[in-house]
Amino acid sequence: MRTLLTLSAMLLLGFALPAVAEGKLEILLSQNASKTESETGRLLVNLVFRNTGDRPIEFPSSYVPPEDGGKLGLNLLSVKSGNSIADYQGLHVRNISGSGSRAILGPGESLERTVDLSQSYLIAPNRSYSISVRPLLRFKDAISAEPSSVRSSDAEAKAATSNTIEVISGAVGSGAGLHRADTLDSAQHPCSQAQNDSISEAILNAGDLSLQAVKYTQSLLKYASPGYTFDQTARYTKWYGAYGDPNNFSSPNGMINGRIAWRLNVNAIRLGKIQGKLPNPPVLSTTCNCEASGAVNPATTIAWVNPSAPYQINICPNFFSLPAIGNSMASDSKAGTILHEISHFNDGYTAGTDDFGDPDQPVSEAKFMAANGRDLAADNAYNIEFYSENLEADQ
């Protein structure tokens, strides 16, 4: 009662009320100097996920690196040396939408992990690297700090904040990170004949969709003297946002348009639908290996890849129960998985796409990026997947 009276008194007197309680996610990076074992080729960085606000928060558990310090399952960090970005060679793990667990942090609580950068990024020796957390890691206020607390999906997602650190790689980068246990021989994890048939059909469907997406996108850009016009359709807007001035190729927006078109083209090259120009043409291979050193949970995973091991897609049992092609009722699909995974690889055409946003809500997150950060949409595997499928059958 006393509190109520005090509040009323404050309101009557026109006092400002204290700010509404809210959670805040800060991710603090620091070099793990004591454990930088240059002789063993490791480059260790500590990450602390801390709720510095005064309400519990929740976010996808997949944002938190594995406890064993092994390969990342998500390209969490930006690792740059000067202007060059270190290739990601951790894993991209695709889970069934909505199947992921959530991490919950009460006010003041934190989670700490150590990441060996040399396991997940192509690190050269004796170089200075600038490390930061990648954009679009978002969290929400949770209803309570109980693990059972209802997912606060209506709450507004807010961006995490982070710092940037500079590290020197020492003797790291002896090539130890490449072609390790996760680039398994497909012969060791054969698929059954029925599974192979199902995968082959998905690859054919994905190839057709990738070529249609290239042709469709080209058809939107028309030349009529004195310049180009762009037909800004609902489909393009939904997954890739506003095209902007089609005659200004060198503006930031124009460069993004070029990147989107190029990624669509590369997907069609990798799926054998457009002639490529690399000395070694893409040879897609698939395994039914659903295990990868703790980073993959077979119960929730559809497929995973190591982007630096092109073009091997590792398929999990969940894949086989998905519909052939995604639609507005079912966003996960067999063809969509292939379109998504094939875009992740690094090769001479392009560095692979990433998985941005909350993997439990990939459709709404892809739309959010198209509207609010189309540079991210251009590089997000879910955007190329949903756009190529024309997931919601837009014109």
Backbone phi, psi, residue 298, to 5°: -60, -25
User: Taking CB under 5 A as the rule, does residue 355 contact Zn ion?
Assistant: yes
Q: Tell me how many residues contact Zn ion (CB under 5 A).
A: 4
State the Cα–Cα distance between residues 29 and 113, nearest whole angstrom.
10
Q: Does the footprint of Zn ion cover residue 358 (CB under 5 A)?
A: no
Between 31 and 343, CB nearer to Zn ion:
343
Minimum distance, C-beta of residue 354 to Zn ion, in the bound complex (Å): 7
Closest CA to 364 of 238, 242, 260, 263: 238
| Beta bridge partner(s), residue 277 | none
CB of 79 to Zn ion, least distance (A): 18
For residue 350, the Cα-to-chain-centroid distance in whole angstroms is: 16
- Does 374 contact Zn ion by CB under 5 A? no
Q: Cβ 301 to Zn ion, closest distance in Å? A: 11
Closer residue to Zn ion (CB): 355 or 360 = 355
The residue whose two tokens read 């500590």 is 46
Site for Zn ion in 33-92 (CB under 5 A): 92
In the complex, what is the shortest distance from the CB of residue 120 to Zn ion, in angstroms, rounded to a whole number? Answer: 15
Would you count residue 381 as binding Zn ion (CB under 5 A)?
Answer: yes
**Minimal distance, residue 257 CB to Zn ion, in Å:** 23
Nearer to Zn ion (CB atom), residue 42 or residue 92:
92
385 binds Zn ion (CB under 5 A): no
Range 81-120, binding Zn ion (CB under 5 A): 92, 94
Catalog residues that contact Zn ion under the rule CB under 5 A: 92, 94, 355, 381
